[in-house]
Amino acid sequence: MGLTTLNYRATKDYKFMHFERREEFSISSIVNANIQVLLQACFPDYPSHQSYFKQVPHSRILVWEKETLIGHASLEYRKIKVGETIMKAFLIGDICVHPTFQHQHIASKIIEQIETLGKENGLDLMIVTVSDTALYKKNGFVVVDNICRWVMLQNHSTLGVIERNLNNSLMVKMLGQTSWNEGTIDFMGYIV
Ligand SMILES: CC(C)(COP(=O)(O)OP(=O)(O)OC[C@H]1O[C@@H](n2cnc3c(N)ncnc32)[C@H](O)[C@@H]1OP(=O)(O)O)[C@@H](O)C(=O)NCCC(=O)NCCS
């Protein structure tokens, strides 16, 4: 339960590579420990004692090479309001690939898997907030500079509601027929 094997044809170099999606509540302490190790290896400033930055995600995409976790993304399904339009979004966070396995399109494959999941389920878009746009531009995301409203969390506490521009770090990729608009984005929750 909570585990979905995603359709992926492994490369000839990594024939044991395996992608799966897991609901957060069903992740065992052993898998959680693997996630923490990978996040530490990929993000030097990641909190050392937990597997999420501010709040647990709904689910995660996990990439295994045999028994080793080598890739990860957290996934949040959320309705957001853009101007007056309600949209169904995947918020993608903490995407990372173990340094030994980088530059082999594994992160791009994770994004492709999330895109397929979104399209199959009628979502309108995928959203990321980033410091480096390269990976996402390569995968069809565009930078948008709408004013954003979101709930700010810190140290497991709600600090309040913030409303401001994200300074070119907000990127979106539309999945359906709905077009993007320039209105304020109300995240109706925290930003991943
Ligand atoms: C970013 C990251 C997930 C890319 O994984 P990957 O499997 O190597 O990605 P792909 O092979 O699909 O694409 C590689 C491209 O990502 C881009 N990229 C590299 N580092 C990046 C970074 N830190 N942020 C965004 N894009 C990056 C480059 O354009 C790279 O192209 P190249 O291989 O021609 O140099 C991986 O480098 C990583 O885990 N970095 C540390 C964690 C991180 O910064 N995550 C991004 C959070 S927004």
pTM of the model: 0.93
Nearest C-alpha neighbor of 53 from the set 7, 104, 91, 103: 91
For 174, the enclosing helix (H) or strand (E) is strand 170-174
For a substitution probing ligand 1, which of 103, 104, 109, 137 has the most ligand atoms within 8 Å of its CB? 103
**Rounded Cα distance, 23 and 2, in Å:** 5
Q: How far apart, in whole angstroms, are the C-alpha atoms of residue 178 and residue 174?
A: 8
138 lines ligand 1 (CB under 6 A): yes
C-alpha span between 131 and 4 (Å, rounded): 30
For residue 48, the model assigns a pLDDT of 87
pLDDT at 16: 79
Closest Cα to atom 38, ligand 1: which residue?
96
CATH architecture of 3-186: 3-Layer(aba) Sandwich (3.40)
Sorted by where each begins, the domain ranges of the chain are 3-186
Residues of the chain short of pLDDT 70, as ranges, are: 1-15
pLDDT at residue 4, as a whole number:
57
Residue 140 pLDDT: 98
Ligand 1 atom closest to residue 133's alpha carbon, by position in its atom list? 25
Supply the pLDDT for residue 12: 46
**Ligand 1 centroid distance, CA of 83 (Å):** 32
CA of 85 from ligand 1 middle (Å) equals 32
32 lines ligand 1 (CB under 6 A): no
Residue 14 pLDDT: 64
| pLDDT score at 6 | 55
Check residue 154 and give its pLDDT: 93
Q: Is the CB of 134 under 6 A from ligand 1?
A: yes
Q: Which long-range contacts (CB under 8 A, 24 or more apart) does 39-45 make?
A: 39/72, 39/94, 39/96, 41/98, 41/99, 42/72, 42/96, 42/97, 42/98, 42/99, 43/94, 43/96
Residue 149 C-alpha to ligand 1 middle, in angstroms? Answer: 28
For residue 131, which of 157, 103, 170 has the smallest C-alpha distance? 170
